[in-house]
Amino acid sequence: MAQGRLIHDSDIDPVPLLSNSTSEHEVRYPTADRRVVKKTWPGFYGQIPVWKDDRVEREPATPAEYLDRQALQNEVFGSDLRLEGVNVSERPSMIIGEPAGLPSFVVTQRFIEGADARFPKPPDARIAEFFEAHGFEAIPRSYFGWVRRADGVVVLDARGDNFVLSAEGVIPIDLQMALVPELIARSAR
Amino acid sequence: MKKKTTRELPPVIPASPELLAKMQRLSERPPVSFEVAKAQTDLMLKGRTNENENRPEPQSGHWRKAG
């Protein structure tokens, strides 16, 4: 992939398509250096947790918040998400009502292979173990949410299809993350 | 009013050495073929729902807003 610059359709199109049915990204694999390419849908930068009406909700992220989300996943879970650049496609938007020409972020990460090809998704109990081992607790009335009170890191959308049960255990691959200061434990402030 | 961003917040607890070691070991594994990656991706997305679903209340009942 290009590095830190405008990425043209001609750079992305040769990478075989893995999926265009996820809600936040078009996914391709492999690049020349064997990485997964994730391109946000034009004009849409995923979702993040926010504190709203005394509960954790999801809201569309700004471009900066999307990048913060990627950085948080790298920092908290040791992921290797890499911002490759920005793509501005002239094709029609996949989102109804959005004009063409809106920018997308292009990020890459390594492909995490499941330990058992038949069951790449970890069961809920393994995901819960993973979070609890990293200091998180479940958030009731949230969208598959977890919070770490020590620093206010909140994860939403923590469903099985956003993790891989690898030979090294549960590995997160795509999480909706943000810092929610309202949830930092008083003793940690 | 300026919207507050995460960049203005305190630093987070970084990934544990154990987790970083796992990620390093995974990076040393041979890359998988497109066919394997495609099969795994299709399997993971199969039956995926996009509607909101609520987690049940934790058994411990310790949920509360901090502070």
| Residue A14, phi then psi, degrees to nearest 5 | -70, -15
Q: Are A77 and A41 in contact (CB under 8 A)?
A: no
Q: Given this model, what pLDDT does residue B3 score?
A: 56
B14 touches chain A (CB under 8 A): yes
Using CB atoms, pick whichever of A16, A140, A179 lies closest to residue B63.
Answer: A140
Q: Are A142 and B54 in contact (CB under 8 A)?
A: yes
Q: What is the mean pLDDT of residues B25-41?
A: 96
CA A188, B2, B6, B8 dihedral sign is negative
Q: Is the peptide bond before A30 cis (omega within 30 degrees of 0)?
A: yes
Joined together, the tokens standing for residue A80 give 């290797």
Interacting residues of B48 by C-beta distance below 8 A, sequence separation 6+: A159, A161
A146 has pLDDT over 90? yes
B61 touches chain A (CB under 8 A): no
Residue written as token pair 């109990």: A125
Q: Given this model, what pLDDT does residue B8 score?
A: 60
Distance between alpha carbon B15 and the CA centroid of its chain, in Å?
12
Closest CA to A176 of A51, A50, A92: A50
Q: Given this model, what pLDDT does residue A95 score?
A: 64
- Taking an 8 Å cut-off on Cβ atoms, the answer to whether A168 and B25 are in contact is yes
Using CB atoms, pick whichever of B13, B41, B42 lies closest to residue A150.
Answer: B13
Q: Given this model, what pLDDT does residue B52 score?
A: 37
| Type of residue found at A160 | G
User: How many CB contacts within 8 angstroms connect chain A with chain B?
Assistant: 141
Closest residue in chain B to residue A31, using alpha carbons only: B34
Longest dimension (CA), chain A: 52
SS3 per residue for chain A: CCCCEEECHHHHCCCCEEECCCCCEEEECCCCCCEEEEEECCCCCCEEEEEECCEEEEEECCHHHHHHHHHHHHHHHCCCCEEEEEEECCCCCCCCCCCCCCEEEEEEEECCCCCCCCCCCCCHHHHHHHHHHCCCEEECCCECEEEECCCCEEEECCCHHHEEEECCEEEECCCEEEECHHHCCHHHC
B56 has pLDDT over 70? no
B28 touches chain A (CB under 8 A): no
When the pLDDT of each residue in chain B is averaged and rounded to a whole number, the result is 72
Q: Given this model, what pLDDT does residue A89 score?
A: 82
Q: Given this model, what pLDDT does residue A31 score?
A: 96
Using CB atoms, pick whichever of A19, A135, A139 lies closest to residue B41.
Answer: A19
Query: Which residue, among B5, B9, B50, would best test binding to A if mutated, counting the most A CBs under 10 Å from its CB?
Result: B9
Q: What is the mean pLDDT of residues A179-185?
A: 91
The per-residue pLDDT for range A74-103, each reduced to its tens digit, is: 999 999 999 999 999 877 666 667 677 889
Distances (CA, A) of A104 to A147, A175, B9: 29, 18, 26
Q: Given this model, what pLDDT does residue B48 score?
A: 61
Separation CA A169–CA A157 (nearest Å): 19
B60 has pLDDT over 50? no
Q: Determine how β-strand A82-88 pairs with β-strand A5-7.
A: parallel
Q: Given this model, what pLDDT does residue A94 score?
A: 63
Chain B, 29-58: which have a CB under 8 Å from a chain A CB?
Answer: 29, 31-32, 34, 36-45, 48, 50, 52-58
The per-residue pLDDT for range A51-68, each reduced to its tens digit, is: 999 999 999 999 999 999
Separation CA A58–CA A142 (nearest Å): 9
Interface confidence, given as ipTM, is 0.89
Q: What is the mean pLDDT of residues A35-52?
A: 95
